[in-house]
Amino acid sequence: MTRAELKKQKLKKEQELIKSFENKKLNGIEKGKFRQTTVWKEFRTRFKGASDPITLKKLPKRFQLHHMDLNPEHYTILKYDNFIPLNGTVHDLVHYLYGYYRKDKDILKRIKKVLDRMVELNDGKDIKDFK
C-alpha cells in the first residue's frame, strides 16, 4: 500500500471516529483519541505563535487550547471563536476560577483587592526580586 493510500485510509478512520463522537458526551479516553486526530492537530496549529491573552507572554510549545464552550456534547465542534490558547498554568487557573465566577462575579474584585495590596506592600516586586 502506498503512503497516499495509507494516509487516505487513516483519514477515513478518523472521520468515522469523529462521526461516532457527534452529539455524545465524551469521556477522557475519547477526548484523548479526538485530540490525536489530524483534524484536531491541524485546527490547533492555527493558534501556534500566538500570545497568551491573559499574561500577554508568548505561548510555550505545549500550550493548552482551551474549549470555552464547556458542553461535553460540543467537544468536537471546532469553531475558531470557541477556543482560546493559554499557557498551562493560566488554563488551570481559568478552570478553577470559572467555578466560582459563574456563581459570584465579585470574586474578581476580591482578587484585585488582594493583588493590589500585595503590590503596595512589596513595592511592585516579585518574590524572585528578593533573592
Please list the pLDDT of the chain residue by residue as tens digits (131 residues).
Answer: 788 888 888 888 888 888 898 888 999 999 999 999 999 999 999 999 999 999 999 999 999 999 999 998 899 999 999 999 999 999 999 999 999 999 999 999 999 999 999 999 998 888 888 77
pTM for this entry: 0.82
Residue 42 burial class via C-beta count within 10 angstroms: exposed 0-12, middle 13-18, buried 19 and up: exposed
Predicted pLDDT at 100? 97
pLDDT on residue 84: 97
Q: What is the pLDDT of residue 129?
A: 83
For 65, 86, 108, 123, the CA distances from 91, given in Å and listed in that order, are 8, 6, 17, 28
What distance in Å separates the CA atoms of residue 113 and residue 119, rounded to the nearest whole number?
A: 10
Helix (H) or strand (E) holding 85: strand 83-86
Q: Which single residue is written with the C-alpha cell 483534524?
A: 39
CA distance 101 to 33: 31
Nearest to 40 by CA among 73, 1, 75: 75
Q: Are the C-beta atoms of 21 and 76 separated by less than 8 Å?
A: yes
Contact criterion met (CB below 8 Å) for 32 and 41: no
